């Protein structure tokens, strides 16, 4: 299993990076990404400090760890610059906090993030056909989430991804130990969103592809 969307106490998570990694390992995960919420105020703090633990992952923590960030409530006009800055300063994976229906995310965030080439658009809410077409063109992965609230639009995201041929990943958006769900729970959430068994397996394979890509950065 892989979770490419997690948060530590460097943003709004409950655990230190090392403890989050240890608990993920104990829960059966083989790879993960630290993706704390960032904007221009804390981007460098997160990359520098969480990056120290991510670098220890394979050798000391027993699982592959990517250093990532989740651009969160960043004004759409600032997203391209922040994506580029994150990559230049060591981010192996860049997520954007999509237009979930349970938070007041600014309209235009999905489109700006996709156009800027983020790796994953997290919980993209009621994503539009225009945004889906651009995601396919840009190679941006879309998230099916196990997290309460954000998961309310999983069915819409799954149906739109099938219609346009977009790539999906399954993430937990883990903020605490109980968010590191089991393989069975991940599968049930995916199937509940309308994915077939083959589509679920493809989504899991997509996560591995992102881990491999992140290793090369």
Q: What is the CATH number of the domain that holds 67?
A: 3.20.20.140
Q: How many domains does the chain have?
A: 1
- What CA–CA distance (Å, rounded) separates 73 from 215? 27
| pTM for this model (two decimals) | 0.97
- What CA–CA distance (Å, rounded) separates 135 from 178? 31
pLDDT of residue 60: 86
Question: Which residue's entry shows tokens 């658009």?
Answer: 121
Lowest mean pLDDT among 55-59, 70-74, 124-128, 149-153: 55-59
Residue 217: pLDDT above 90? no
Q: State pLDDT tens for residues 154-196.
A: 999 999 999 999 999 999 999 999 999 999 999 999 999 999 9
Instruction: Label residue 107 exposed, middle or buried (CB < 10 Å: 0-12, 13-18, 19+).
Output: exposed
Average pLDDT, the chain: 97
Q: State pLDDT tens for residues 35-80.
A: 999 999 999 999 999 999 999 987 888 899 999 999 999 999 999 9
Q: How many C-beta neighbours within 10 Å does residue 52 have? A: 12
Q: Give Cβ neighbours of residue 178 (< 8 Å, ≥ 6 apart).
A: none
- What CA–CA distance (Å, rounded) separates 213 from 85? 18
- What CA–CA distance (Å, rounded) separates 131 from 179? 28
Q: How far is CA 123 from the centre of its chain?
A: 9
DSSP 173-212: -BSSGGGS--HHHHHHHHHHTT--HHHHHHHHHHHHHHHH
Question: What is the domain range of residue 102?
Answer: 2-215
- Over range 212-217, report the average pLDDT: 88
Specify whether the CB–CB gap between 108 and 140 falls below 8 A: no
């Amino acid at each position: 299993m892989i979770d490419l969307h997690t948060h530590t106490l460097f943003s709004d998570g409950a655990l230190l990076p090392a403890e989050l990694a240890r608990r993920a390992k104990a829960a059966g995960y083989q790879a993960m990404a630290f993706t704390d919420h960032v904007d221009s105020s804390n981007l460098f703090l997160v990359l520098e400090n969480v990056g120290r633990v991510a670098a220890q992952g394979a050798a000391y923590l027993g699982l592959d760890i990517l250093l990532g960030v989740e651009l969160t409530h960043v004004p759409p006009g600032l997203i391209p610059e922040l994506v580029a800055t994150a990559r230049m300063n060591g981010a192996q994976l860049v997520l954007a906090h999509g237009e979930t229906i349970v938070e007041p995310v600014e309209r235009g965030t999905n489109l700006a993030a996709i156009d800027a080439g983020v790796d994953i658009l997290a919980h993209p809410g009621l994503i539009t056909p225009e945004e889906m077409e651009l995601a396919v063109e840009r190679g941006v992965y879309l998230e099916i989430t196990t997290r309460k609230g954000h998961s309310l639009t999983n069915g819409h995201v799954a149906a739109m991804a099938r219609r346009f041929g977009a790539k999906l990943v399954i993430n937990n958006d883990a903020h605490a130990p109980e968010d590191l769900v089991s393989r069975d729970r991940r599968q049930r959430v995916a199937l509940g969103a309308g994915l077939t068994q083959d589509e679920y397996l493809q989504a899991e394979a997509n996560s591995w592809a992102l881990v491999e890509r992140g290793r090369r950065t």
